[in-house]
Chains A and B, each alone.
Chain A
Amino acid sequence: MSHSGSRFATVLIIVGCLIATGCLVSARNKSFFGKTDPPRENILRYVSGSEPESLDPQIPNLQNEARISLALFEGLAEYDPKTSEPAPALAERWVVNKDWSEIVFYLRHDGRFSNGDPITARDFVYTIRRGLAPGLGSRTASLAYPIKYAQAFNEGRVFVFDPNTKTFLLERDFVESTEPAAPSAAETKQPAASKNDVQPPENATAETEFHRFMQSPARLALPGKEKARKAALDANPKLKAAVDGKQFVTVTADSVGVEAVDDYTLRISLMQPAPYFISMMPHQFFRAIHQKTIEKFGNRWTDPDKIVTSGPFKLDSWSHYDRIVVSREPHYWDAANVRLDKIIFYLLDSNTTILSLYKSGGLDATYNHTVPAAWLDGIGPMKDFMDASEAAVDFYNFNTTKGPTKDVRVRKAMNMSLDKKALADWRHVHALTTLIPEGIFPGYPQLKGDSFDPEKAKKLLADAGYRDASGNFDPKKFEASEVELIVNPDANNIPYAEFIQAQWKRNLGATISIRVMENKTYFVAQAALDYKGVSRTGWSADYLDPFTFLGIFYTSSNPTGWSDPKYVELLDRANRTTDHQERYALLAQAEQILLDAQPIMPTTVPTTRMMKKPYVKGLYPNPTTLHSWKAVYIERDPSKWDYGMPDMSK
């Protein structure tokens, strides 16, 4: 009996439940997803993503940890709540020198750690040195690599000391010199700081021994490990001869280009000009941490009974795999403007669970991408659905090192035969034909990639040799078995890939198979170029500057294997250029080279797709979905609620 019977009964139960929910929901407020009763206390209940690896802001590298670090720690600059651009925080202002080799930060005098200790320039020197220490194993240390000798210290490199002349060997004598720096414009100041437009006081230019060391030409830094060093020396006979009989001196923390000129003046020297450097300052890697606590407790310093923090909130409790509770920090310099008493971060990452909790009134807001594409038709029109463009891109890598996709014509053809507009409309996002998303970087000269053109695609493929006797494209000749589309099973990747597969089938007649791989297996295959044809990927900005995207292809160890010295040269030149517009123009030129070579197939710009109850104010769907928590508050007066997306313009 029971088999078909039980199945029938199951269907009945499911249908019954669905009908019951449907009726009841429609009886409630239709314009919002679930309950809209504000919490009784001044508490924000937010979901921050999966369990953090650590509360140490310098170790992990993902958004779920960043969201919590933003509450507990503060850096020189903080993300603007609406634009995500750097705004003054523990530094009141900063001044950049002419050739972008040096930045001086002027710290506020009332910054305090949660134990009451003042936050001084020395704390930032410690913070940056500590983050770079090789033994710490920070995943994000490379963000600090523009700082002089930071990379050398982090990688355990050695300087070469000549005992006879008592000097160090210099980099410029052994590395092929690149073009001289582009003529620099007048002194650049960060717009955010320019309202405090004061001439730097005397001490900014204070000459110290360390400063002279920083200003002197860069020393040569060789690999610290015997084997790697031997390889480097063997590759360069001139270097090998010069190094002979010299001493190797390990690069130490003292050589890293950060200096406390006085208690409240921090001077950072850069290895090479990096105009994007300021936009990295709000990153958690650069947020102030307390030296004594860390030295006392080692890797247990983040335990709730030991931790000392620097942000607007302090840690109350951490119930693992469940929730982190933070509350208002009385020592915080701007405590008067912190509006929430508490934030509860729920450590959840399953979208259905998150949305259930949100609907039942257990959550006030969610992080980005928590609304699955399949729910968009239902949730999309609701007034608490927040959907704004992100500083992120979705694209697919072509393996440019082997198979049919080695041929640029094949890459171009595959890119051209995908109707990105249709894909974007289906997913409720914007189509993308370039690497840099439109509208995120004001003033960036927006390029245009190849548009949808199946006929041209077929011609290109015919040119590439996939043609019949009469010279027309022949899908049978195309080695479709040599190309596959690999994806990881996250979120919406599979339907997305199926859409693209169908497009190629329809527009080219080629059947490209999809291979779904477990996350880590997929990441490894992609990074090692161990895939045939195409792999799905995406990139969210580490900092708000086009270089965060263009830098992916700076070396050939990217998942496409593509590289071009001209591209790298343009990027270097752009970063030496201090004039904002001129720099953007150079970056755009580099992007054009990339688009011409088509190592990637850009598809869409992701949108925030988050939920926020109408009574939560000061929390915006900004480009990074990282929120400055002190700006957030609970509004109890329904007439001041957000009925739709809040106004994002300043």
Chain B
Amino acid sequence: MLRFIIRRVVVIIPMVLIVISLTWVLVRLAPGNFYTGEKKLSTGIEANLREKYGLDKPWYVQYGKVLKNIVRLDFGNSLKYEGQSVNQILWRGLPVSAALGLSAYLIALLVGITTGSLSALKPNSWIDYSSMTLAMLGISIPNFVLGPLLVLLFSLTLFWFPPALWDGFPSRSMVLPALTLSAIYIAYIARLTRSGMLEIMRSDYIRTARAKGLTEGQVVTRHALRGGLLPVVSFSGPALAFLITGTVVVEKVFALPGLGNYFINACFNRDEPLIIGIVAFIAITVLVFNLLVDVAYGFIDPRIRYS
């Protein structure tokens, strides 16, 4: 088990370096610079800016600086935001994204697993049909449509929740974004739970459990759920990683100061250190969560052993 974890951690390092290098090349290939705008700067001013930020140096010097920064886990200063370091920005955006992502994740797990299990236990009943229709809706409505619809209903018609902005955690301002964000995950989790459970309910060890004389409730909670949730676990690990590292669309729709909002603007602004910092952060988080999921398998499914 320990060897397995160490081996995986060692693989993460080159992976992150590859991701960073690719990102750096892509940023460099994109036309324009952080100071490019509608009103062209005079050549003298542009030269001053290039010198100030080291853009007049050869590419290998600049790339070397990026790698050095990664190794030290200090991504340098933002180009766009004078006097702010990338690390400072990351630590500022992360709590917002994480609070939002975690709430959405919990809602998704709770609602998704419940409806999924109910559907699986009573397949082809009205519960099954209605929850699966809702799940289908959840998957097919993109969140940039769902968000404004919820705003229209709850903020501009009923005036229950604010339509945008962040008032900290917990607050009423979180409700709509968390709901919007969770919709698609509720739907996926409900469907995964349903299909996983349906399959397990037909398997031999469930029949054995029933034969032992366990009540249906015990069969479901002790045996069926553990096996039936495996697909949900493998889905929700990376999903959680993505949820807490910032969700571009929802943060943009509700104007939340999270990592997703920073990221999309960093790309539009060609703010290279910030883009690289956020990409590195997301890459590391996703890889670590994948590792956690693999480890979790071992605990949930007795059939899996790490050697």
Residues of A at the B interface (CB closer than 8 Å) are 2, 5-7, 9-10, 13-14, 17-18, 20-21, 24-25, 34, 50-51, 53-54, 56, 59-62, 134-139, 141-142, 151, 154-156, 298-303, 319-323, 346, 348, 350, 352-353, 356-357, 359-360, 362, 518-521, 523-525, 527, 537-539, 557-559
In the complex, what residues of B have CB within 8 A of residue A359's CB? 156
Q: Is the CB of B262 within 8 A of A321?
A: yes
Q: Is the CB of B44 within 8 A of A154?
A: yes
Contact size range, B: 35 or more
Chain A proximity of B139: nearest CB distance (Å):
8
In the complex, what residues of A have CB within 8 A of residue B38's CB? 523, 537-538
* Contact mask for chain B residues 39-58; partner A; CB cutoff 8 A; 1 contact, 0 none: 11111110111011100000
In the complex, what residues of A have CB within 8 A of residue B162's CB? 357, 360, 362
Chain A proximity of B137: nearest CB distance (Å):
5
Contact of B92 among A2, A151, A320, A323 (CB under 8 A): A320
In the complex, what residues of B have CB within 8 A of residue A51's CB? 81, 265
B35 in the interface (beta carbon within 8 A): yes
B296 in the interface (beta carbon within 8 A): no
In the complex, what residues of A have CB within 8 A of residue B136's CB? 2, 5-6
23 A-B residue pairs with CB within 8 Å: A14-B149, A17-B149, A17-B157, A20-B157, A34-B156, A51-B81, A137-B52, A139-B49, A142-B41, A298-B83, A299-B83, A302-B83, A320-B89, A321-B257, A350-B252, A353-B163, A356-B164, A357-B165, A519-B268, A521-B32, A523-B38, A537-B38, A557-B40
B82 in the interface (beta carbon within 8 A): yes
Chain A proximity of B169: nearest CB distance (Å):
13
In the complex, what residues of B have CB within 8 A of residue A9's CB? 133, 137
* Contact mask for chain B residues 66-102; partner A; CB cutoff 8 A; 1 contact, 0 none: 0000000000000011111000010011000000000
In the complex, what residues of A have CB within 8 A of residue B45's CB? 137-139, 141-142, 154
B5 in the interface (beta carbon within 8 A): no
Q: Which of B147-180 contact A (CB under 8 A)?
A: 148-149, 151-153, 155-157, 159, 162-166
List 4 A-B pairs, minimum CB-CB distance, nearest first: A520-B32, A321-B257, A155-B44, A299-B83
In the complex, what residues of B have CB within 8 A of residue A139's CB? 35, 41, 45, 49
Q: Which of B261-302 contact A (CB under 8 A)?
A: 261-262, 265, 268, 270
Q: Is the CB of B163 within 8 A of A357?
A: yes
Using CB atoms, name the residue of chain B closest to A56. Answer: B82
Q: Is the CB of B151 within 8 A of A356?
A: yes
Chain B proximity of A392: nearest CB distance (Å):
11
Kindly state the separation between the CA atoms of A523 and B36 in the bound complex, as whole angstroms: 7
Using CB atoms, name the residue of chain A closest to B78. Answer: A53
Using CB atoms, name the residue of chain B closest to A537. Answer: B38
Chain A proximity of B71: nearest CB distance (Å):
25
Q: Is the CB of A134 within 8 A of B80?
A: no
Q: Is the CB of A521 within 8 A of B31?
A: yes
Contact of A154 among B31, B37, B48, B53 (CB under 8 A): B48
Q: Is the CB of B93 within 8 A of A321?
A: yes
Chain A proximity of B208: nearest CB distance (Å):
35
Q: Is the CB of B81 within 8 A of A21?
A: no
Given known contacts A135-B48, A155-B47, is B32 in contact with A322 (CB within 8 Å)? Answer: no
B110 in the interface (beta carbon within 8 A): no
Which of B42, B44, B53, B132 has its CB near the most chain A CB atoms (within 10 A)? B44
B140 in the interface (beta carbon within 8 A): yes
With A302-B83, A362-B165 already in contact, 20 other A-B pairs whose C-beta atoms are closer than 8 Å: A6-B140, A9-B133, A17-B149, A24-B157, A50-B265, A61-B39, A138-B48, A139-B35, A142-B42, A151-B44, A154-B45, A302-B82, A320-B257, A346-B255, A353-B255, A357-B162, A520-B32, A520-B36, A527-B36, A538-B38
Given known contacts A9-B133, A155-B44, A524-B36, is B165 in contact with A53 (CB within 8 Å)? Answer: no
In the complex, what residues of B have CB within 8 A of residue A356's CB? 151, 155-156, 163-164
Chain B proximity of A509: nearest CB distance (Å):
32
Kindly state the separation between the CA atoms of A300 and B85 in the bound complex, as whole angstroms: 10
Residues of B at the A interface (CB closer than 8 Å) are 30-33, 35-45, 47-49, 51-53, 80-84, 89, 92-93, 132-133, 136-137, 140-141, 148-149, 151-153, 155-157, 159, 162-166, 252-258, 261-262, 265, 268, 270
Kindly state the separation between the CA atoms of A138 and B42 in the bound complex, as whole angstroms: 11
Q: Is the CB of A2 within 8 A of B133?
A: yes
Chain B proximity of A280: nearest CB distance (Å):
15
Q: Is the CB of B48 within 8 A of A137?
A: yes
Kindly state the separation between the CA atoms of A163 and B132 in the bound complex, as whole angstroms: 90
Kindly state the separation between the CA atoms of A271 and B252 in the bound complex, as whole angstroms: 47
In the complex, what residues of B have CB within 8 A of residue A156's CB? 44, 48
Q: Is the CB of B257 within 8 A of A527?
A: no
Contact of B32 among A299, A321, A346, A524 (CB under 8 A): A524
Which of A21, A60, A299, A356 has its CB near the most chain B CB atoms (within 10 A)? A356
Q: Is the CB of A54 within 8 A of B83?
A: yes
Given known contacts A21-B152, A53-B80, is B164 in contact with A348 (CB within 8 Å)? Answer: yes
Kindly state the separation between the CA atoms of A181 and B47 in the bound complex, as whole angstroms: 33
Chain A proximity of B153: nearest CB distance (Å):
5
In the complex, what residues of A have CB within 8 A of residue B84's CB? 320
Kindly state the separation between the CA atoms of A154 and B44 in the bound complex, as whole angstroms: 7
Chain A proximity of B280: nearest CB distance (Å):
20
Kindly state the separation between the CA atoms of A539 and B38 in the bound complex, as whole angstroms: 8
Using CB atoms, name the residue of chain B closest to A24. Answer: B157
Using CB atoms, name the residue of chain A closest to B139. Answer: A6
Q: Is the CB of A520 within 8 A of B40?
A: no
Q: Is the CB of B156 within 8 A of A21?
A: yes
Chain A proximity of B226: nearest CB distance (Å):
29
Contact of A322 among B42, B159, B257 (CB under 8 A): B257
Chain B proximity of A353: nearest CB distance (Å):
5
Kindly state the separation between the CA atoms of A340 and B164 in the bound complex, as whole angstroms: 24
Chain A proximity of B79: nearest CB distance (Å):
9
Kindly state the separation between the CA atoms of A519 and B38 in the bound complex, as whole angstroms: 9
In the complex, what residues of B have CB within 8 A of residue A59's CB? 82
In the complex, what residues of A have CB within 8 A of residue B47's CB? 155
Chain A proximity of B281: nearest CB distance (Å):
16
In the complex, what residues of A have CB within 8 A of residue B252's CB? 350
Given known contacts A21-B157, A54-B82, is B137 in contact with A10 (CB within 8 Å)? Answer: yes
Kindly state the separation between the CA atoms of A348 and B41 in the bound complex, as whole angstroms: 25
In the complex, what residues of A have CB within 8 A of residue B93's CB? 321
